[in-house]
Structure 1
């Protein structure tokens, strides 16, 4: 049985509100075990006999059926989340900047987003792998940063989601707890 981290896109913002207790209840009908939600921003760790592709399919189907919205998630193995956290060259805690990792279920869309960020200029970003890139935003100005506005475009909605590095550290640790 493998451990996974599932990152929901766009919940508890923009009118799609899901209580984590309700999400956990809905997921009981899925082929998952050890389900644990983290924070209210849509982070879940779980175990399953399914591979990552099928965890994604089942999870999205559950969200659509239970909560009635066009749901998208990014699914990574627990081991891959740990690798991405370790590979991030930016600090988890810094008073002047915030470190983010954008995760993607479609590497081609992340390629496009990364290249668009490069074209913007002034974006401190690094590619961590085919499914992730890390970037910095000024403290207190994340939502107003040009790259944040770019990554929020509808074009990227179905395939990418962004998390603060501190959140990914919490997800990594929770997924590791599932394995022990």
Structure 2
């Protein structure tokens, strides 16, 4: 089965991985057709098993081979296609960033989606399929927004990762 593996905090938060090394490590661990997209921890691979077993194994490979506390979100390519197709807003990407926040536990995105104090002129959220939270924010306001600040908290480090809709479309291409 084809899986999408989204690594949290790679090449943006202090953890530096060379994508060719990442591909080699996952191939050596028995995964097939390993491809990376961009340099921010987006991996496509083929494996037997389910999302939970791939997640557990990939995290173990990353910890062993690269020596960091690795957390990933794993979903099938079909599920990613469902998420992208369900994005609820038409977005002018020159004005607003369209994001999807992924969760490995479902609780995290539910909490982020229930945050109070969102300024609708700046950001908006909507729940999506497969434990995701759709989030759209004015360009330049991502880190200072309510959701941006909350999602950066340590409580969400091991369970969430965020991707721009454009990156997700590239993963499906």
Give the TM interval when normalised to the shorter protein. over 0.9
Provide the C-alpha distance between the structure 1 equivalents of 2:132 and 2:83, rounded to a whole number of angstroms: 8
Which runs of 5 or more residues in structure 1 are unaligned? 174-180
Provide the C-alpha distance between the structure 2 equivalents of 1:138 and 1:65, rounded to a whole number of angstroms: 39
Which runs of 5 or more residues in structure 2 are unaligned? none
Instruction: Tell me the residue number matched to 1:178.
Output: none
* Residue-pair matches, total: 170
Instruction: Map 1:1-180; keep pairs closer than 5 Å.
Output: 2-91=1-90, 93-116=92-115, 119-122=116-119, 123-173=123-173
3-state secondary structure, aligned to 2:68: coil
User: Which of 99-108 and 138-147 deviates more?
Assistant: 138-147
Deviation at 1:133, TM superposition (A): 1.1
Deviation at 1:92, TM superposition (A): 5.7
Provide the C-alpha distance between the structure 2 equivalents of 1:93 and 1:81, rounded to a whole number of angstroms: 22
Deviation at 1:114, TM superposition (A): 1.4
3-state secondary structure, aligned to 1:95: coil
State whether residues 92 and 166 of structure 1, in contact with CA within 8 Å, keep that contact through their aligned partners in structure 2: no
Provide the C-alpha distance between the structure 2 equivalents of 1:92 and 1:3, rounded to a whole number of angstroms: 29
Displaced runs of 4+ in structure 1, greater than 4 A? none
Deviation at 1:130, TM superposition (A): 4.2
Provide the C-alpha distance between the structure 2 equivalents of 1:155 and 1:171, rounded to a whole number of angstroms: 27
TM-score by length of 1: 0.90
C-alpha offsets along residues 91-143 of structure 1, whole Å, 9 cap, x if unaligned?
46522101000001001122112112xx1222411101241011111112222
3-state secondary structure, aligned to 1:120: coil
TM-score by length of 2: 0.93
User: Which of 86-95 and 29-38 deviates more?
Assistant: 86-95
Q: Name the one with the larger helix percent.
A: 1
Deviation at 1:164, TM superposition (A): 0.3
Q: Which has the higher contact order (CA 8 A, sep 6+)?
A: 1
